[in-house]
Amino acid sequence: MIPELGHVSLIIAFVLAIGLATVPMWGAWRRDIAAMNTAPSLAVGVTVFVAVAFVLLTISFLRDDFSVAVVAANSNSLLPPIFKFSAVWGNHEGSLLLWVLILSGWMTAVAYFSRGLPLVMVSRVLSVMGFVAVGFLAFSLLTSNPFERLLPNTPLDGNDLNPLLQDPGLIIHPPLLYMGYVGLSVPFAFAIAALMGGRLDASWARWSRPWTNVAWGFLSLGIMLGSWWAYYELGWGGWWFWDPVENASFMPWLMGAALVHSLAVTEKRGVFRSWTVLLAIFAFSLSLLGTFLVRSGVLTSVHAFAADPERGLFILIFLALVVGGSLLLYALKAPSVASRVSYGAVSRESLLMVNNLVFTVSTVVVLLGTLFPLIMDAFSLGKYSVGPPYFNAVFVPLMALLMPFMAVGPLSRWREDSTRRWLHELLVPGLGVLAVAILLGFFGKATFNIWIALAVLLAGWVALGVIKDAWRRLTSGVASGLQWRRLSPSFIGMSLAHLGFAGVVLGAVVVTQESEEHDLRMAVGDAEVLGAYRFELQSLGQQAGPNYLADQAVFEVSRDGESIAVLVPEKRRYFASGQIMTEAAIDASLWRDLYIALGEPIGENAWAVRLQYKPMVRWLWLGSLMIGFGALFTVLDRRYRSQAARSAAPQTGAAAVAS
Amino acid sequence: MQAKKFIPLLAFVVLAGLLFRGLSIDPTELPAARLGQPFPQFSQPELSTGSDISVDALADRPALVNVWATWCYSCRVEHPYLIALAQQGVPIYGLNYKDDAVKAREWLSQLGDPYRLNIVDVEGSVGLDLGVYGAPETYVLDADGVIVHRHVGVLNEEVFQRDFSPWFPLVAAGSAIKADRGIE
């Protein structure tokens, strides 16, 4: 009975979403107030019924109802309850339902927080989001019904959740990632609504900005968790693989990074208007493209869902409708007259344009690399995969190119600035950073490592820009004391994100350059020295878990004769699927990780073992956390809270003051 | 209206066309470069005798080369079907891939041995030359020793009848094999 109720609930949500996609849109066209006023309640209605469906599916999982096909395929009576819960979205059907749930959550949030906005705008925005919801609900109901039953041949027990997904990181990774993916539908909907209304002024940019920042912040956190999970769960010690599915989430992030900055220019100065609209369309289109790539099976990947061309075709048609339709609308309605507002070649506008160019080119580069196998295959040129060397070769220089501008950007002035002023601000401390970089390039090694020196230089330079900017705000224009109130939430958020970016770059370069790795056979009593650390295999044993049996190896790690950690890596065999999983053991700290993973058993008392020393690998994730939380923090800014009051006033575009 | 504003739309149309084409392609098919090539040269020990063998040992053709290992759960699933095929007279050569020889011999004595012989490939070097993704995989060698087909994943009756039967016309379809499997 419960699955059927869930199914009915999903159908009701679908019908309400059709209403949301049509009625307010018609109302906005005919200026029919009553029709436009239905938008918020329809949005809430969709949310409620999708939520009910989601809860009912969750109940089916928790009750081990193996008559439901997805439960039988992705759960097991022995699975710990917390993983039964996350198993709801550890599969194609359930994760699609989560997608729609989060989309409707965003719709409700827009309906709630945008009450002060013009009715025409709100109803169009919600209606566009409603259209997206129609597509995904239809996709769920027609090709991927999560409530499909296995009757009368109900299995006695389920196939179990893929052991790779039985991990705390995977409980929150998909929801965070989807918050970001799907959240980008909000600026998309605002852009479409603005295009429809033909009023692409600074106001839509200001309305979109907080939503974009929040969505992009969640996306950053989601990607960070995915990378961290891959690091400790896949057992290779890698943290980014340029896998198609990773790229699928990374492309909207890159485009979102451009959008976040471009929106700032459009809001403050009224320039880049068409460009910003285009970025908003691209960012969400790439989210949809990611969904297509992950769920259609056109590319092979470690975490793609089961391939199904029928599903692929459905998303492709939907993608064509949404993206093709938006780009057609853009072609017809985007302002063709150049903005009246001018700016100099040396100005904050130009610096943000560099940001936009670099991030857009990076997105194209990643897109080409991701689709390259498909392109070659489509023209029957053979099976190829470009692999990490391509991505590293083009992506790393692009990011390096970005960083010199990143320090100057926040310090620079709108409209017109001078390089002399920048030199005056940054020359002396910049030389200091250079000296430190050269010094650290020699650090710990006999030979000079140019890459580490460069990374320290660039990261230090970015950090310097942030510190200089903060200091200027605190001290300028007052005789004494510090003006703490001048550090607005948007400034703090931005600074945090920029510092985080510098941290990620530094961590990435150091861990790539200085990691050490030994693959060897170890028997009980064997010891191996890696850098300053000595790893001794003390004993082997077995340990039973709730739904698996694990081989364990106990290692003692010591430095200078002093024991610093006992690490217990495992090799688990899961009962239901028979799948073997490597559980790496990690001793983590800010400056280095020690990482042990078991390979295959060799003979009776020995194992193939992989030992790794990974300096500063934590900086990657700490930096990403700072980027994510920085972006989220900006919405606390007072400017956004008074959004409702401001929206009524006529827009002046260029008149806004510097933040 | 300006023409350049249609550029994003045009770019998307090209992309969508590409994606549509992509839907009809199976990315796990054998790389075209390997097809039509002779089986790569090797000099490796044989599993039961320990003496070195070369590609000349794969003499009875057409034949299957099955990539397997004791750490591979799906290989266990596929094993009974390989035994049934061997009993029907299909020559099967094993490539014991990145495995422990002691365990592999144990496995064969416990579960039965469908293989004419087994190439021991501890380092995975033969697998590398062959382009192996993982175990299990099964390759078809024609009468001249040329690789003519590759299957990734578990080999079963359905796959064999669909993709392998052109080279083994004498293998009776259906019933005999099902009876041997003793399931269903």
Q: Could you report the per-residue pLDDT of A533-584, keeping only the tens digit for each? A: 999 999 888 888 888 888 899 999 999 889 999 999 988 888 776 677 788 8
Nearest by CB to B5, which of A312, A323, A336? A336
Cβ atoms of A134 and A123 closer than 8 Å: no
Average confidence (pLDDT) over A150-162: 78
**Helix, strand, or coil (residue B43):** strand
Q: Which amino acid is at B139?
A: Y
The tens digit of pLDDT for each residue in A347-381 reads: 888 889 899 999 999 999 999 988 887 787 777 66
The tens digit of pLDDT for each residue in A290-307 reads: 888 877 766 655 444 545
Place of tokens 């190829």: A384
A24 and A119 share one domain: yes
What is residue B178's predicted lDDT score, i.e. its pLDDT? 41
Q: Tell me the nearest-neighbour CA distance from B109 into chain A, angstroms.
A: 18
pLDDT at A319 over 60: yes
Closest CA to A355 of A259, A251, A462: A259
Output the average pLDDT for chain A.
85
Contact criterion met (CB < 8 Å) for B23 and A312 = yes
Buried b (16+ CB within 10 A) or exposed e, B150-160: bbbebbebeeb
Evaluate whether residue A41 is within a structural domain: yes
Average confidence (pLDDT) over A609-635: 92
The tens digit of pLDDT for each residue in A88-103 reads: 988 888 999 999 999 9
> Considering A616, A637, A652, which residue would you say is the last residue of a domain?
A616
Query: Roughly how many angstroms between the first and final C-alpha of chain A, as a whole number?
Result: 56
**Helix, strand, or coil (residue A226):** helix
Contact criterion met (CB < 8 Å) for A309 and B21 = no
Evaluate whether residue A648 is within a structural domain: no
The answer, yes or no, to whether the previous bond of B136 is cis (omega within 30 of 0) is yes
Average confidence (pLDDT) over A641-657: 42
What is residue A655's predicted lDDT score, i.e. its pLDDT? 34
Evaluate whether residue A553 is within a structural domain: yes
Q: Is any Cβ of chain A less than 8 angstroms from the Cβ of B8?
A: yes
Q: Is any Cβ of chain A less than 8 angstroms from the Cβ of B98?
A: yes
The band of A649, judged by pLDDT with boundaries at 50, 70 and 90, is: very low
Evaluate whether residue A634 is within a structural domain: no
Chain A residue numbers with beta carbons less than 8 Å from the beta carbon of B23 are: 296, 298, 309, 312-313, 316
Q: Which domain holds residue A577?
A: 517-616
Q: Name which residue leads in pLDDT, A466 or A159.
A: A466
Q: Is any Cβ of chain A less than 8 angstroms from the Cβ of B24?
A: yes
Evaluate whether residue A431 is within a structural domain: yes
A464 and A524 share one domain: no
| Complex-level ipTM | 0.80
Average confidence (pLDDT) over A212-236: 88
A525 and A507 share one domain: no
pLDDT at A404 over 50: yes
Nearest by CB to B27, which of A299, A319, A324? A299
Alpha-carbon B12 to chain mean position: 38
Nearest by CB to A374, which of B12, B16, B18? B18
Cβ atoms of A509 and A493 closer than 8 Å: no
Contact criterion met (CB < 8 Å) for B22 and A603 = no
* Residue A250 burial (CB count, 10 A): 25
Q: Tell me the nearest-neighbour CA distance from B31 into chain A, angstroms.
A: 5
Alpha-carbon A33 to chain mean position: 38
Q: CA-CA-CA-CA torsion for B56, B59, B61, B65, nearest 10 degrees?
A: -60
Closest Cα in chain A to B35: A382
The tens digit of pLDDT for each residue in A2-44 reads: 999 999 999 999 999 999 999 999 999 999 999 999 999 999 9
Evaluate whether residue A344 is within a structural domain: no
Nearest by CB to B27, which of A300, A332, A578? A300
A161 and A199 share one domain: no
Instruction: State how many domains chain A has.
Output: 4
Give me the domains of chain B, ranges plus CATH numbers: 36-181 (3.40.30.10)
Q: Is any Cβ of chain A less than 8 angstroms from the Cβ of B35?
A: no
A472 and A528 share one domain: no
Contact criterion met (CB < 8 Å) for B28 and A300 = yes
A104 and A225 share one domain: no
Place of tokens 């609930």: A9
pLDDT at A236 over 70: no
Chain A residue numbers with beta carbons less than 8 Å from the beta carbon of B8 are: 278, 281-282, 327, 330-331
What is residue A302's predicted lDDT score, i.e. its pLDDT? 46
Helical packing angle, A618-633 and A489-514, nearest 10°: 170
The tens digit of pLDDT for each residue in B55-94 reads: 888 888 889 999 998 866 667 778 888 988 998 889 999 9
What is residue A298's predicted lDDT score, i.e. its pLDDT? 67
Q: Name which residue leads in pLDDT, A145 or A238.
A: A145
Lowest-confidence region among A19-28, A385-394, B94-103, B154-163: A385-394
Mutate to test the interface with B, among A383, A582, A602 (most CBs of B within 10 A): A383
Closest Cα in chain B to A607: B100
Contact criterion met (CB < 8 Å) for A382 and B98 = no
The C-alpha atoms of residue A609 and residue A381 are separated, in whole angstroms, by 40
> Considering A166, A193, A213, which residue would you say is the last residue of a domain?
A166
The answer for residues whose C-beta is within 8 angstroms of residue A604's C-beta and 6 or more apart is none
Instruction: Return phi, psi of residue A91, to 5°.
Output: -150, 165
CA atoms within 13 A on the CB side of A141: 19
The band of B99, judged by pLDDT with boundaries at 50, 70 and 90, is: confident
A428 and A453 share one domain: yes
Output the average pLDDT for chain B.
79
Lowest-confidence region among A76-90, A549-563, B146-160, B162-176: B162-176
A484 and A604 share one domain: no
The band of A386, judged by pLDDT with boundaries at 50, 70 and 90, is: low
The C-alpha atoms of residue B96 and residue B75 are separated, in whole angstroms, by 11
* Residue A440 burial (CB count, 10 A): 17
The C-alpha atoms of residue A520 and residue A532 are separated, in whole angstroms, by 18
| Residue A534: its H or E element | strand A533-544
Q: Tell me the nearest-neighbour CA distance from A338 into chain B, angstroms.
A: 12
Among chain A, residues having any CB pair with chain B shorter than 8 Å are 274, 278, 281-282, 285, 292, 296-300, 309, 312-313, 316, 319-320, 323-324, 327-328, 330-332, 334, 336, 371, 373-375, 377-378, 382-383, 577-580, 600-603
A496 and A556 share one domain: no
Average confidence (pLDDT) over A617-624: 94
DSSP codes, A568-616:
--EEEEETTT--EEEE-EEEE-SSEEEEEEEEEEETTTEEEEEEEEEET
Q: Name which residue leads in pLDDT, A109 or A269.
A: A109
pLDDT at A656 over 60: no
The C-alpha atoms of residue B97 and residue B90 are separated, in whole angstroms, by 21
Contact criterion met (CB < 8 Å) for A374 and B102 = no
| Residue B94: its H or E element | strand B92-97
Mutate to test the interface with A, among B5, B26, B77 (most CBs of A within 10 A): B5
Buried b (16+ CB within 10 A) or exposed e, A129-156: bbbbbbbbbebbbebbbbbebeeeeeee
A7 and A108 share one domain: yes
* Residue B31 burial (CB count, 10 A): 11
A597 and A471 share one domain: no
DSSP codes, A456-498:
HHHHHHHHHHHHHHHHHHHHTT-SSS--GGGS-HHHHHHHHHH
Copy the structure tokens of residue A203: 């106001």
Evaluate whether residue A645 is within a structural domain: no
A18 and A115 share one domain: yes
pLDDT at A217 over 70: yes
Q: Is any Cβ of chain A less than 8 angstroms from the Cβ of B3?
A: no
> Considering A596, A616, A636, which residue would you say is the last residue of a domain?
A616
Give the sheet arrangement for strand B137-141, strand by strand: B118-121, B92-97, B63-68, B137-141, B147-152
Mutate to test the interface with A, among B1, B2, B14, B19 (most CBs of A within 10 A): B19
Cβ atoms of A183 and A211 closer than 8 Å: yes
Q: Tell me the nearest-neighbour CA distance from A137 into chain B, angstroms.
A: 22
Mutate to test the interface with A, among B9, B13, B70 (most CBs of A within 10 A): B9
Closest Cα in chain B to A364: B11
Q: Provide, for chain B, the percentages of residues in helix, strand and coil under a 3-state DSSP scheme, each rounded to the nearest 5.
A: 40, 20, 40
Contact criterion met (CB < 8 Å) for A331 and B16 = no
For chains A and B, what is the number of CB pairs under 8 angstroms? 91
Evaluate whether residue A650 is within a structural domain: no
